[in-house]
Structure 1
Amino acid sequence: MQPRFLGQLGVADLVTAANAAIGFVAVATATVDPELTARLILLAAIADGLDGVIARIRGGTAIGPFLDSLADVASFGVAPAALVYAVATADATTVSEDPFAIAALIISALYVSMAIVRLGFYMLHDCEKPETEGVQTTLAATVLAVTYLAGIGDPTVLVAMAAAFTYLMVAPVTYPDLYARDAVVLGGLQALAIGVPTAVNRVFPRSLLLFAVAYLVLAPFVYWRDTGS
């Protein structure tokens, strides 16, 4: 018997499925190699952008957008939460007796929950628009991962950032999609941050962090796009 999906998935959908697999590996390695987890989250972000490019060039499938959001749950919901929790509890012996570890667990769980809510509302309202409401899960995950790669691995900072993104992902703030040229720059920085994260005093993760934070803070106000309306 042939698999149900045989002949119904496109190349872009295969990249999306690979994105989900990368997300799982990122989660699985969080407690033993947080730096690898952070790099894998950035790799998943590249795959997330690549599947959209392939879909535009080769044509997408009806199931593609749904697969994309499901993959995002793994790579940009669960994986960054696992990274934050792993870093926050690296020195904890018993989570139930460590107030900070308990707080990290609760915040990480809420982060995953709000990521799922945000992705659900994106599919319902925003997937056909050139902008979206709330911080993108990809952006939130990228900022968390690259903060760690940039050498800012203080558990308190990461937990506080995860707490902020838990709200920002569902906040009533509109973010425009990136222009293609800016997406290429972002992808290039992501690739360099993955490949040589410690080169030249971590210049690539730090540059990517600056880029991502600038978009996070400024995009709703100054990053205007011509939508033709």
Structure 2
Amino acid sequence: MQPRFVGRLSLADAVTVSNGALGFLAISVATTNPEMAARLVLLAAVADGLDGVLARHVGSSSAGPYLDSLADVASFAVAPAMLVVSMVRQTWAFDSLRVGIALLGGALFVGMAIVRLGLYTAYDTDDDVTEGVPTTLASVILAAGVLAGFTEPLVLVALTFVLAGLMVSTITYPDLLARDALIMGVVHSLAVLVPNLQGRAFPYALLTLALAYLVLSPHFYWRTTDRAPMGTTEGKRS
């Protein structure tokens, strides 16, 4: 007897499922190998972008948007929160108050990411803009920061709280144009494959690009309506 999904899911959906599986792997290794966990989160983000490309060019199933949000909960909500908590425990293991604050920040991050993903699936999937910081962007900032060597617990915890709030803000973020998404994807992939090359140049570059998009794109990102966007907010399927 064949599994229920045979004949119902597309190639894009298979990539989406792999995104969620990578999130689980990141969670599993976060306590023992935070750098590997960060790389897995970034790899999941690559898969998240790829499934959107495949959905637009090859097609997707009606289950695709729901699978996408479910996978993102593992990869871009729980995994980055666990990564931050693990980094905090390495330094503040015997300070129950500080660890407790980190756990609170992680729980808030997960909760706001779930809310943001639900609102996105309900209201934003057909638009080329979205309200609130994309969960993918928030997780990339945290993971790239760890790979770039910014592992000060206080900074990570503060950033977790800030990003949790920004994910449910009403700030409007545009999708990247295909040209810019390609550049971002190349840097992203190199940060995963060779994070230590040239003094961690690619994690630094990815973090810089992600922060620039976070701060500048709501007001200064240029786009025109006659050029197709490359959905980068939660693997947009349009």
TM over 0.5: yes
Q: Please show how residues 34-53 of structure 1 align to structure 2 within 5 Å.
A: 34-53=34-53
CA deviation profile, 1:71-112 (whole Å, cap 9, x unmatched): 110000000000000001114445xx6111000001100100
Q: Please show how residues 1-12 of structure 1 align to structure 2 within 5 Å.
A: 1-12=1-12
Match of 2:158 in 1: 160
Consecutive unaligned residues in structure 2, runs of 5 or more = 227-238
Output the TM-score relative to the length of structure 1.
0.96
Candidates 196, 199, 205, aligned match of 1:198: 196
Match of 2:233 in 1: none
Match of 1:26 in 2: 26
Equivalent pair of 2:92/2:98 in contact (CA under 8 Å): no
Equivalent pair of 1:176/1:224 in contact (CA under 8 Å): no
Equivalent pair of 2:187/2:205 in contact (CA under 8 Å): yes
Match of 1:99 in 2: 97
Identity of aligned residues (%): 53
Equivalent pair of 2:106/2:160 in contact (CA under 8 Å): yes
Match of 1:214 in 2: 212
Determine the C-alpha separation between the residues in 2 that align with 1:169 and 1:152: 22
Higher relative contact order (CA 8 A, sep 6+): 2
- Give the CA deviation at 1:136: 0.2
Match of 1:134 in 2: 132
Match of 1:123 in 2: 121
CA RMSD after TM alignment: 1.1
CA deviation profile, 1:131-180 (whole Å, cap 9, x unmatched): 00000000000000001111111111111100100100001100000111
Candidates 176, 179, 182, aligned match of 2:177: 179
Determine the C-alpha separation between the residues in 2 that align with 1:219 and 1:93: 38
Instruction: Count how many residue pairs are aligned between Structure 1 and Structure 2.
Output: 226
The ranges of structure 1 where at least 4 consecutive aligned residues each deviate by more than 2 angstroms after the TM superposition are 91-94, 224-228
Determine the C-alpha separation between the residues in 2 that align with 1:158 and 1:93: 15
- Give the CA deviation at 1:2: 2.0
